[in-house]
Chains A and B, each alone.
Chain A
């Protein structure tokens, strides 16, 4: 789960990571009031959306007065912000964060995440702050420094000192960097974060370390033990179809094609998308109905697929291991009848009780194309979506 910059900064502050003074605003008037309260020579007005690269799309502006902050907020709120990370459709800006400007001497990069291959946490730092870290890593790998942290031992002081050396910090900065890292690590572990990224972490002209930006992602599987974090979710930032899927506990990813898909199991669901593409079609979605798919789940899944107006045909691909195909067939028939499905329907049932399931589908008066193999199912669905 992703959260906004202003929410991340509040968590940073609570864990001893210094951030500029700031306040959140939903209207131009509020933005002006925050700027006046901050009393800084310069304030920064920042659009709050779940995507990076905001500066490039006009989502970050420097204002020299509260009145100017108001003007920028006025222009930003309600605009569709397009950044390199939003895609061409952009994101609607509903709120801004106004914070005191900083006198920047240096811009650094700092991140903490899990290294999947080693099973350790990776603390990544670079002298090249404010840049795309993946580009820095590929062009000048010697400027990216990584310390691996044993999850059972935790962060060690020497690791902070090593990174401070790599970042060319002076003695006083090294001390505050150590405290900052300790706070960041504590936050990461205490709240089950999956990524903390500060880009840039700045050294001010006075020599202080400040998190100028903040990105925090959390492990969805750990949200059950962090109701405070779960409450930070912003439903406006989610694809409405994905939000609806999450609410009924289905795994769904919206795509751009015309073949709606319902599959049991994530691997088979991905493979079904691949098969559709190999047959010259384009899938409308990824949908894993889960190992325990029953009649009600099948109906919910159909509802979700039908919300997408681009869907021209629906492919149901079930490999019954534990799931019984006859029960799935009943679910498909009930859903198709109840929801009045008019899109052509291709159903492939394999595994446990597949023959029984196929018989049920064949005996119904609904127009369902049965398929035996994965390839046949995809070919039929792609052809149906083309209207042939």
Chain B
């Protein structure tokens, strides 16, 4: 089982530029079934021994791809998301950072009610250890196991996964949902997926300042989640009104503070680690693992 991605996932790469190609190769090395690339202007050619197509529709018809990963630069990224959805792809993972937020607002509205799930944008992707790597996460630090990891961040996710692996605790799926203000799969939906997954026994959630998605997640945990959850919130010392790297990481109008998120999660029964160095230990203690 696991969530979103497994050994049956057939992955299409949209944007076979330098970065797309580099990561497609890493995904192949990690055992992922990468089936094709889409790169307008290079259709009919090939890269890494994979066929390249002009459109996502042709690629899906020819290869039966059911997931795609987007490395298209910001001006064309929202269009690539809509193209993948129009081609009937079930899971679209958008790695691109720097997409205008209005483009995402329109694309997310257009995806409502459609069967396509978007993860990201501005995310490191989805990694189901030993089965499927979609995006840019370093597969070598992960190992199969019972803990789901969901995070708004990239390298901080690696830090948490590394802490878990070093404690001998493996992961069912590691999911980076993205650091932008508008994303396709918010915390609540990720937690729903982990709650429903029989192979996931506990969840690590890594939030950060900005917005109130962690507060919504806290409500979900309190009301609907049976599995133990441990959390860390980054930006406890971030000043208000400053964007901390991620487009979505900003305390604005008195909302989005780390302290409020930590309090909401604690009240919901989540084990919140104040220290980023103790994320793994906190989960291990709370879930009785390791």
Chain A residues close to B by CB (< 8 Å) = 114, 116-117, 119-121, 134, 150-152, 189, 192, 194, 219-222, 224-225, 251, 253, 255, 263-278, 283, 286, 288, 291, 319-322, 350-352, 373-375, 378
Q: B74 contacts the other chain (Cβ, under 8 Å)?
A: yes
- A-contacting 9-mer, from B34-42, B58-66, B154-162, B197-205: B154-162
A134 and B254 contacting across the interface, CB-CB below 8 Å: yes
Q: B225 contacts the other chain (Cβ, under 8 Å)?
A: no
B105 and A268 contacting across the interface, CB-CB below 8 Å: no
- Tell me the bound Cα distance from A272 to B238 in angstroms: 11
B109 and A319 contacting across the interface, CB-CB below 8 Å: no
| Closest chain A residue to B154, Cβ basis | A265
B249 and A270 contacting across the interface, CB-CB below 8 Å: yes
Q: How far is the CB of A358 from chain B (nearest CB, A)?
A: 15
B277 and A266 contacting across the interface, CB-CB below 8 Å: no
| Closest chain B residue to A350, Cβ basis | B162
List 21 A-B pairs, Cβ < 8 Å: A114-B105, A116-B213, A117-B213, A152-B106, A192-B101, A192-B102, A219-B102, A221-B247, A222-B102, A224-B74, A251-B245, A263-B155, A267-B234, A270-B235, A271-B232, A274-B237, A291-B136, A319-B155, A322-B23, A352-B140, A374-B276
Q: How far is the CB of B93 from chain A (nearest CB, A)?
A: 16
Q: How far is the CB of B203 from chain A (nearest CB, A)?
A: 17
B246 and A273 contacting across the interface, CB-CB below 8 Å: no
Q: How many A-B residue pairs have CB under 8 A?
A: 176
Q: What residues of chain A lie closer than 8 Å to B276, measured between beta carbons?
A: 268, 271-272, 274-275, 374
Q: B264 contacts the other chain (Cβ, under 8 Å)?
A: no
In addition to A266-B245, A288-B245, 8 A-B residue pairs with Cβ atoms within 8 Å of each other are A264-B155, A266-B179, A268-B154, A268-B234, A270-B208, A321-B124, A322-B138, A351-B162
A267 and B105 contacting across the interface, CB-CB below 8 Å: no
Q: What residues of chain B lie closer than 8 Å to A319, measured between beta carbons?
A: 155, 158-159, 162
B154 and A291 contacting across the interface, CB-CB below 8 Å: yes
- Tell me the bound Cα distance from A270 to B157 in angstroms: 13
Interface size class of B (residues with CB under 8 A): 35 or more
Q: B193 contacts the other chain (Cβ, under 8 Å)?
A: no
Q: What residues of chain A lie closer than 8 Å to B234, measured between beta carbons?
A: 267-268, 270-271, 274
B109 and A119 contacting across the interface, CB-CB below 8 Å: yes
Q: What residues of chain B lie closer than 8 Å to A378, measured between beta carbons?
A: 277
| Closest chain B residue to A239, Cβ basis | B242
A268 and B156 contacting across the interface, CB-CB below 8 Å: yes
Q: B43 contacts the other chain (Cβ, under 8 Å)?
A: no
Task: Known contacts A116-B182, A265-B153; decide if A351 and B101 are in contact (CB<8 Å).
Answer: no
Task: Known contacts A117-B211, A321-B155, A322-B136; decide if A266 and B108 are in contact (CB<8 Å).
Answer: no
Interface members, chain B 144-169 (any A CB < 8 Å): 151-159, 162
| Closest chain A residue to B100, Cβ basis | A222
Convert B236-264 into 0s and 1s, putting 1 for each residue whose CB lies closer than 8 angstroms to a CB of A: 11110011111111000110000000000
B109 and A150 contacting across the interface, CB-CB below 8 Å: yes
Q: What residues of chain A lie closer than 8 Å to B277, measured between beta carbons?
A: 275, 373-375, 378
- Tell me the bound Cα distance from A136 to B158 in angstroms: 43
Q: How far is the CB of B280 from chain A (nearest CB, A)?
A: 11
Q: How far is the CB of A126 from chain B (nearest CB, A)?
A: 14
A283 and B109 contacting across the interface, CB-CB below 8 Å: no
Q: What residues of chain B lie closer than 8 Å to A275, measured between beta carbons?
A: 275-277
Q: Taking each of B75, B105, B245, B275, which has the highest tally of chain A beta carbons within 10 Å of its own beta carbon?
A: B245
Q: Taking each of A221, A270, A273, which has the highest tally of chain B beta carbons within 10 Å of its own beta carbon?
A: A270
Q: How far is the CB of A222 from chain B (nearest CB, A)?
A: 4
Q: What residues of chain A lie closer than 8 Å to B157, measured between beta carbons?
A: 267
Q: What residues of chain B lie closer than 8 Å to A286, measured between beta carbons?
A: 238, 242, 244-245
